[in-house]
């Protein structure tokens, strides 16, 4: 799929203008605060993901024109032609070809992945960052995933309350069993696919990466149902002591190794950043492989911590991918960009070439 045109009204600091995008590589350049990330966010919302972060909807509005409703519009093509409208007030309402639609339905039709600067720390960052990475891919390739993950979070919050009160945990355990085992299975399957996808980007990798999905609080029993119950029994005392759920996807990690050692210990800082970019591209490969549709890829400040060699490899790899890419970077950070280049200043976009 491709984003052919986007338009916004009353969105953050963005000017009201219609933008026509290349089906290949689009580079947004400009100083911090110029509107690069906000431009990516419009596409993120129009592809069914919502704002980049969990913010109040009012923060999306340009208060200089706050009497007007915030509207975003996108025209998409490729596998099918779609017109998407997003209205933002107290909540975000989505329409596709004039009919009300849901975020999950839109993601199925317009697969898109966005990676922010924090994602450059996939290799050496926290487990929570790697869980978010897996969740984004899983939510695209398994339509029920986002709903079941939300159900899991609600049940874990309820279990935490019961633990603090010293109540009976049996009901939440039974509710958690199918959710935990299913999410574990999906994450494991996606991890395997990402590992295969990495082999498509050897130029970016300083060494062969091995990926392993690590179940949170698990005893390592192969069957996920049995593993959940046995691990839950083994952690019973710790749960009561710390008054917090100890077993489940909320404690998962994606273990990344090279030559049987943690990649964060083997690679230099520059190589860790290149490996993180390879992980992002492997995510896009996984989505295309499973959904049979080319994803729209959004990369914010993706070249910030790459040296010139790493940036050149990344750009060449993107050019060969045939994906539509929206990349935002500091002015002058990427030379010889093989696609459209836009200058962004105070929310206004101007095509340079």
Map tokens 């929570």 to a residue: 128
Cα separation of 65 and 16, whole Å?
Answer: 11
Helix (H, G, I), strand (E, B) or coil at 253: strand
pLDDT tens track for 206-220: 889 999 999 999 999
By CB atoms closer than 10 A (0-12, 13-18, 19+), residue 272 is: buried
Q: Phi first, then psi: what are they for 215, rounded to 5°?
A: -70, 135
Neighbours of 208 (CB within 10 A): 12
Q: Is the pTM of this model over 0.85?
A: yes
Grouping H, G, I as helix, E, B as strand and the rest as coil, residue 74 is strand
Domains along the sequence of the chain with CATH:
1-111+293-353 (3.40.50.300), 121-290 (1.20.1050.90)
For the residues of 190-239, what is the DSSP string, one character each?
HHHHHHHHHTT-TTT-SS--EEEEE-TT----SSHHHHHHHHHHHTHHHH
24 and 101 in contact (C-beta within 8 Å)?
Answer: no
**pLDDT at residue 333, rounded to an integer:** 62
Percent of the chain having pLDDT more than 70?
Answer: 95
328/1 Cα distance (integer angstroms): 20
Q: How many Cβ atoms sit within 10 Å of the Cβ of residue 226?
A: 12
- pLDDT tens for the chain, 353 residues long, are 999 999 999 998 899 999 999 999 999 999 888 899 999 999 999 999 988 865 444 456 554 555 567 999 999 999 999 999 999 987 889 999 999 999 999 999 999 999 999 999 999 999 999 999 999 999 999 989 999 999 999 999 999 999 999 999 999 999 999 999 999 999 999 999 999 999 999 988 988 999 999 999 999 999 999 999 999 999 999 999 999 999 999 999 999 999 899 999 999 988 999 999 999 999 999 999 999 999 999 999 888 778 888 888 889 889 988 899 999 988 666 778 899 999 999 999 999 98
The gap from C-alpha 297 to its chain's centroid, in whole angstroms, comes to 10
**What is the pLDDT at residue 169?**
95
pLDDT reported for residue 245: 96
Is residue 157 classed as helix, strand or coil in its secondary structure?
helix
3-class SS of residue 94:
strand
Beta bridge partners of 115: 299
Report helix, strand or coil for 337. coil
| 104, 28 Cβ separation under 8 angstroms | no
Question: How high is the pLDDT of residue 51?
Answer: 87
pLDDT of residue 334: 76
pLDDT in tens, 306-337: 888 888 888 988 998 889 999 998 866 677 88
Query: Would you say 189 and 228 are in contact if contact means Cβ atoms under 8 Å apart?
Result: no
Closest alpha carbon to 254 in 346, 136, 168: 136
Centre a 10 Å sphere on the Cβ of residue 80 and count the other Cβ atoms it contains: 11
**Angstrom distance (rounded) from CA 115 to CA 136:** 10
Structure confidence at residue 68 (pLDDT): 65
Could you tell me if 3 and 324 are in contact, meaning their C-beta atoms sit under 8 angstroms apart?
yes
Helices (H), the chain: 36-46, 103-109, 127-141, 145-165, 170-198, 224-234, 236-242, 263-266, 269-291, 308-321
**Could you tell me if 138 and 186 are in contact, meaning their C-beta atoms sit under 8 angstroms apart?**
yes
């Amino acid at each position: 799929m491709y984003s052919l045109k986007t338009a916004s009204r009353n969105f953050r600091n963005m000017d009201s203008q219609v933008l026509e995008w290349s089906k290949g590589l689009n580079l947004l350049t400009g100083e911090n605060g110029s509107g690069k990330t906000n431009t990516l966010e419009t596409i993120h919302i129009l592809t069914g993901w919502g704002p980049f972060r969990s913010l109040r909807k009012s923060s999306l509005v340009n208060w200089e024109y706050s009497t007007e409703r915030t509207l975003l519009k996108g025209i998409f093509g490729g596998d099918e032609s779609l017109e998407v409208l997003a209205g933002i007030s107290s909540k975000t309402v989505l329409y596709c070809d004039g009919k009300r639609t849901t975020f999950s339905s839109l993601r199925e039709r317009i697969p898109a992945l966005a990676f922010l600067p924090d994602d450059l720390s996939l290799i050496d960052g926290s487990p929570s960052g790697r869980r978010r990475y897996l969740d984004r891919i899983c939510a695209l390739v398994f339509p029920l995933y986002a709903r079941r993950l939300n159900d899991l979070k609600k049940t874990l919050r309820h279990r935490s309350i019961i633990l603090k009160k010293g109540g009976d945990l049996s009901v939440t355990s039974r509710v958690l069993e199918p959710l935990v085992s299913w999410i574990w299975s999906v994450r494991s399957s996606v991890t395997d696919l990402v590992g295969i996808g990495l082999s498509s980007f050897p130029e970016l990798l300083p060494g062969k990466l091995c990926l392993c999905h690590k179940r949170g609080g698990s005893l390592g029993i192969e069957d996920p149902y049995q593993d959940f119950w046995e691990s839950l029994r083994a952690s019973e005392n710790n749960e009561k002591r710390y008054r917090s759920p100890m077993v489940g996807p909320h404690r998962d990690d994606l273990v990344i190794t090279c030559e049987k050692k943690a990649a964060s210990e083997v690679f230099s800082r520059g190589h860790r950043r290149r490996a993180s970019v390879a992980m992002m591209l492997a995510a896009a490969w996984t989505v295309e492989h499973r959904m049979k549709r080319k994803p729209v890829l959004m990369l914010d400040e993706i070249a910030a911590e790459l040296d010139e060699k790493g940036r050149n490899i990344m750009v060449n790899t993107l050019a060969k991918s045939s994906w539509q890419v929206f990349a935002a970077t500091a002015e002058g950070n990427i030379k010889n960009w093989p696609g459209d280049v836009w200058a962004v200043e105070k929310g206004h976009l101007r095509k340079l070439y």
